[in-house]
Amino acid sequence: MIPDDQRFQVVFSTLSETRPSFSGPSPGDLVVCRSIILDKDQRRRIRVTTAPVEYSTDYECAAYAWRSTADAEPIRLLRRHISQLERAPQIVAITLDQDGEILSMSADPQYYLPEPDHVYPFLDELPPVETVLRSELIELDRIAGICDLVSYRSGPAQGRTGIFKSSLTDGQWTGLQATLRLPPHPHLLPIDYAVLEEMECKLVVGYTMRVIPNGDLKSDYHRARPFKLKWLRQLMQTVDDLNLRFGVVHQDIRARNCLIDPETDNLLLVDFGFSAWVGQKHAGIHGRNWEPGERRSDVEGVMLFLCEIITRADDSDIFDILAGVVEADSDLEWRDKLVKHPDVELDHNIDMFYHELVSWVKKRRSGGTSPQTRAIIPEAIRWPPYPDRRCDWSGSEEDDSDDKPDLREKGPRVPWQRPASTMVDRSRILLATGKYADESESENGNKKAASEVAGPSTT
């Protein structure tokens, strides 16, 4: 089941005056907040409109920040009613009163909640990759925001399990594009299959990967085991390879994005959704531009990673600890900032971890191992940035202009909604499409019958 702090996401939020004016709201004016919230359990968007409140700049800033927090006010209000809404999957919008109770509901998606215009890559735009239809994946469990445990219904992988990462959010464009282009590496988890939509079989709407048991390095399983010095060394070497060989910056190196392969006892770095390539002007809708020499590179990411492992501080404190480490004037002061949690076990003396990391950080920061241009990166890769609209990207290495490429057809609109996990009929097979297998087979049979009645088309 998806953890509660990962289930909801504010994807859009805006303030509207109850009495519109040309100048916009002023302090004391009444405004309502309209937020579109993605429920990743149901893969469903719900618009939440709050009761009128007095406008203030602080409230406007808070509303803007809701997109980056799992405990935003609209999410707290929606949680109060989610059980009722799970039983009414047709509802797309609710309006709340002053007490946070539902005043009205709507099932009109065109008026209240137009479908988002997702951009999926066409299969022929990607490097060669094995493919599977979304309708050939059986949902077994929902393990994270956009990650499901699935099994394959047919083909060479029939009966095998995998992790399906859906392109339900725009940030997966970069994760798919980058991972497919990276060469085989002992500490990177490759894509097994690109997942195609089942209508026209030409848009890639996600991908599958091998299941790595026991979760990430923040899981209870791994926290109960000693953390090994070799895993830190493997991570540092992997970052060197990404930055200096492949010209890629991961930009989200955290314990949650590191796995341990039980077959090899090696560390695996995953999730390239925030990554960018050196010199990239557009890092994707969730990515960040990166220029050589910036301190927010993966070097600080590895420092943050070790802070997490050693201190077990939560996200509200970890960045303060990292800031102290980064600003430390000496190795001794640097070490004093990192206080080991009493439950943390290490396979070597903690001084060894400090020594290894400090030596590596100094080497990377000396400038001798920082990529200055893509021309001197031996195996540099690149991928198309997330487009503003469905378009064809030429992939020309020389074309770094901001001109819009020629438009290309959008392809079919991909439906994602599925039953809430509390409402799933366990006696039936639920597919990754969000529909039960018997529903899909019935629809396919009806389409085939209609086609036979109509006969072949003529022009």
Stretch 302-318: mean pLDDT: 88
Which residues neighbour 410 within 8 Å (Cβ) at sequence distance 6 or greater? Answer: 117, 390
Compute the distance between CA of residue 247 and CA of residue 397 in angstroms, rounded to an integer.
14
113 pLDDT more than 80: no
Contact status, residue 211 vs residue 161, Cβ threshold 8 Å: yes
**117-211+408-438 and 215-395: same fold?**
no
Stretch 246-254: mean pLDDT: 93
41 pLDDT more than 80: yes
Place of tokens 């394959």: 152
Stretch 314-326: mean pLDDT: 74
Q: Among 154-163, 313-322, 445-454, whose mean pLDDT is lowest? A: 445-454
Stretch 205-222: mean pLDDT: 96
Neighbours of 113 (CB within 10 A): 18
pLDDT score, position 57: 79
1 pLDDT more than 90: no
pLDDT digits (tens, 9 = 90+) for 361-376: 989 988 655 555 555 7
344 pLDDT more than 70: yes
Stretch 52-72: mean pLDDT: 76
Contact status, residue 167 vs residue 43, Cβ threshold 8 Å: no
Stretch 139-166: mean pLDDT: 95
Compute the distance between CA of residue 52 and CA of residue 95 in angstroms, rounded to an integer.
11
343 pLDDT more than 70: yes
Q: With respect to CATH, is domain 215-395 assigned 1.10.20?
A: no
Confidence bin at 285 (pLDDT 50/70/90): very low
Question: SS3 of 40, please?
Answer: coil
336 pLDDT more than 80: no
Q: Give, to the nearest 10 degrees, the angle between helix 298-311 and helix 315-327.
A: 120
pLDDT score, position 277: 86
Confidence bin at 293 (pLDDT 50/70/90): very low
pLDDT score, position 115: 53
pLDDT score, position 67: 66
Compute the distance between CA of residue 456 and CA of residue 9 in angstroms, rounded to an integer.
46
358 versus 233: which is more confidently predicted? 233
Which residues neighbour 309 within 8 Å (Cβ) at sequence distance 6 or greater? Answer: 217, 227, 255, 344
pLDDT score, position 322: 73
Compute the distance between CA of residue 286 and CA of residue 168 in angstroms, rounded to an integer.
13
Count the residues in the chain. 459
Domain boundaries, the chain: 4-112, 117-211+408-438, 215-395
pLDDT score, position 158: 96
Place of tokens 């802070």: 307
pLDDT digits (tens, 9 = 90+) for 181-195: 999 999 999 999 999
Residue type, 436: Y
Residue type, 227: F
pLDDT score, position 409: 52
Confidence bin at 459 (pLDDT 50/70/90): very low
pLDDT score, position 15: 84
Closest-CA residue to 181 (of 299, 293, 276, 260)? 276
pLDDT score, position 403: 40
287 versus 339: which is more confidently predicted? 339
393 pLDDT more than 50: no
What fold does the segment set 117-211+408-438 form as a domain?
A: Phosphorylase Kinase; domain 1 (3.30.200)
pLDDT score, position 106: 93
Stretch 314-341: mean pLDDT: 72
Neighbours of 425 (CB within 10 A): 9
* C-alpha separations of 188 from 179, 180, 238 in Å: 9, 11, 8
Stretch 398-424: mean pLDDT: 67
Question: SS3 of 271, please?
Answer: coil
Compute the distance between CA of residue 67 and CA of residue 8 in angstroms, rounded to an integer.
10
Question: SS3 of 204, please?
Answer: strand
> Residue 407 belongs to what H/E stretch?
none
Concatenating the DSSP letter of every residue in 177-189 gives HHHHHSPP-TTBP
Stretch 115-140: mean pLDDT: 89
pLDDT digits (tens, 9 = 90+) for 131-147: 999 999 999 999 988 89
* C-alpha separations of 294 from 40, 264, 362, 438 in Å: 34, 34, 15, 54
Residue 232, both tokens: 């830190």
**Whole-number percent of the chain with pLDDT over 90:** 54
pLDDT score, position 331: 60
